A = this chain, B = another copy of it.
Amino acid sequence: MAPAGRPGAKKGILERLESGEVVIGDGSFLISLEKRGYVKAGLWTPEAVIEHPDAVRQLHMEFLRAGSNVMQTFTFSASENNMSKWEDVNAACDLAREVAGKGDALVAGGICQTSIYKYHKEEARIKKLFRQQLEVFAWKNVDFLIAEYFEHVEEAVWAVEVLKESDRPVAVTMCIGPEGDMHDTTPRECAVRLVKAGASIVGVNCRFGPETSLKTMELMKEGLERAGLKAHLMVQPLGFHTPDCGKEGFVDLPEYPFGLESRVATRWDIQKYAREAYNLGVRYIGGCCGFEPYHIRAIAEELAPERGFLPPASEKHGSWGSGLDMHTKPWVRARARRDYWENLLPASGRPFCPSLSKPDI
């Protein structure tokens, strides 16, 4: 058997998707590590890969154990120049590779939109930035590439064009909702342009909750079908319920980023989401901000019948609450059944709070 972690030793992302497998993505790094004390909100930079590698490794491990088939390099950055330092990208790749080697996961190098595009739509300058990151990813031999969190389809197209220069598969996800991108390009049109630019996998990530993101995916799928194009579909939504957010998603909600607790999805909400994503034909299913390891496990458990196996972390989780049959209180034992959790409408315990907010803009 090939040594774990050697590129090529595992089935690649496209082989998996083309054979009909479900690929489970990973979850939230920035927000999870913010709560654990290693990321600063506002800047949202991944210096923890250098400063606290144990914390980052542990989170990777938890996602792997929960069933993730992809370890995304923790290289996202919302900082001003939007470019992680070379050392950071390097360290992030090593951590992702180390953990991926302990299970059935691939390493994906991730880039995201620049802070430049909004002010200067300079293709050459922006592509150069993407190319710099790509060089590290190529050197570290990642398994495939993800361009994610794009608000403007044009910049996402540039990213795809750069990533295609490597011979690795390219996935691209935009952080848009059903209303489309910041220039009012519809999700249908976005999907078409990205696939035409060379992406093999297309979808959305971040900014909107599971329900809303699936609406956007439906539109992307329609766009591709109408254009006669083929691509794999991918969805990595927030782990927060955001029925009330506007075009720019959850950053406009008054609760962002320090009051989102009551919006966190339950594991049952995520099972429902995983099932609906699957039924829609999406086969790369993961999460973004707010997705904790147990949310990823919920995807893996919901789709266990299709996939034929449970993730390691299910050792510590009875399907549909079945573990509760060992609880000391009989009325809690009575909750060890699917219909109980499937139909629960959880109370917020916050009677002085509303159920929806008005976005700031």
Contact = CB atoms under 8 A, between A and B. Distances in A.
A119 to B, nearest CB: 11
B351 A355 contact: yes
Interface string A346-361: 1111111111111011
Contacts of A38: 313, 316
A40 B317 contact: yes
A152 interface: no
A344 interface: yes
Contacts of A345: 350, 352-354
A155 interface: no
A328 to B, nearest CB: 6
A325 B293 contact: no
Contact of A356 (B318, B324, B328, B352): B352
Interface stretch (A6-14, A61-69, A214-222): A61-69
A251 to B, nearest CB: 6
B349 A350 contact: no
Interface size class of A (residues with CB under 8 A): 35 or more
Interface of A: 34-43, 54-55, 58, 61-62, 65-66, 78-80, 115, 209, 240-244, 248, 251-268, 292-294, 297, 312-313, 315-318, 321, 323-329, 331-332, 335-336, 341, 344-358, 360-361
B358 A255 contact: no
A325 B209 contact: no
B78 A241 contact: no
Contacts of A115: 328
29 contacts: A34-B294, A35-B292, A36-B293, A37-B297, A40-B315, A41-B324, A42-B336, A55-B58, A240-B349, A244-B351, A254-B344, A255-B346, A257-B324, A259-B266, A261-B265, A261-B266, A262-B350, A331-B360, A345-B352, A345-B354, A347-B353, A347-B354, A347-B355, A348-B350, A349-B356, A350-B355, A351-B351, A352-B354, A353-B355
